[in-house]
Amino acid sequence: MSVQARPQDYAAAIYDLALEPWTRQLGDVQKALREDTALRTALHDPKIPAADKLQMLDQAKVGAVGSDVRKFLGTLLEAGQLDQIDSILVEFERLVRRRPKVQVARVTTAVPLTEAEKEAMQARLAARFGSDLEFQYEVDGSVIGGVYLRVGDQVIDGTVSGKLAAMRDRLTA
């Protein structure tokens, strides 16, 4: 049996792959600064221009640094804030671990909803569950009428078939 990856799985993989080089490259710079006191001292010398400091970093045993990371390091050097790299990395890793999770709101109805109905539904659900919702609409004639909603592990069954089943259960109990 083949297991299919969900779009969320692919998106999470892309997210991780996009951030991994930054984490690795900034970690390499951090390590080089800890190990090379002469480099660290030179980079804190206010008489040395930021462009020259960036060249020093390029020549140091930092490893491969991409152009975006290099530009970021240049910004830190120009601002005189390279010494904050430890704090920056701690905060960056905290943000990476806290990856934004988008909740999926699955809305099932007996007939397709109009755009106006979808907008009204989205506004009500965003007010209740937060604005980070992704909406998926499905039509299923077996619900007879009403709306079946699942957001994460919460289910709201406002369908006619659900109400009839609940009534049947109460009557037979």
Q: Are residues 73 and 121 in the same domain?
A: no
Residue 145: CB partners within 8 Å, gap ≥ 6?
A: 110, 159, 160
Q: Are residues 13 and 80 in the same domain?
A: yes
CA dist list (Å): 140 to 20, 38, 66, 103: 42, 69, 50, 22
Whole-model pTM: value is 0.53
Q: For residue 149, list its beta bridge partners.
A: 107, 156
Q: Cβ of 72: how many Cβ atoms within 10 Å? A: 18
pLDDT along the chain (173 residues), means of 10: 62 82 89 88 90 87 81 90 89 76 85 92 88 86 87 86 84 83
Last residue of a domain, one of 97, 118, 137: 97
Number of domains the chain is built from: 2
Q: Are residues 28 and 109 in the same domain?
A: no
Q: Are residues 54 and 74 in the same domain?
A: yes
pLDDT on residue 2: 45
Last residue of a domain, one of 97, 127, 156: 97
Q: In this structure, is residue 1 part of a structural domain?
A: no
Q: Are residues 88 and 26 in the same domain?
A: yes
Distance of alpha carbon 130 from alpha carbon 133, whole angstroms: 7
Q: In this structure, is residue 3 part of a structural domain?
A: no
Q: Are residues 83 and 136 in the same domain?
A: no
Last residue of a domain, one of 58, 81, 97: 97
DSSP string, the chain: -PPPPPHHHHHHHHHHHHHHHHHHHHHHHHHHHHH-HHHHHHHT-TTS-HHHHHHHHHHSS-----HHHHHHHHHHHHHT-GGGHHHHHHHHHHHHHT---PEEEEEEESSPPPHHHHHHHHHHHHHHH-S-EEEEEEE-GGG-SEEEEEETTEEEEEEHHHHHHHHHHHHH-
Q: In this structure, is residue 82 part of a structural domain?
A: yes
Structural domain range at position 140: 103-172
Q: Cβ of 136: how many Cβ atoms within 10 Å? A: 11
Q: Are residues 38 and 81 in the same domain?
A: yes
CA 21 centroid distance within chain:
16
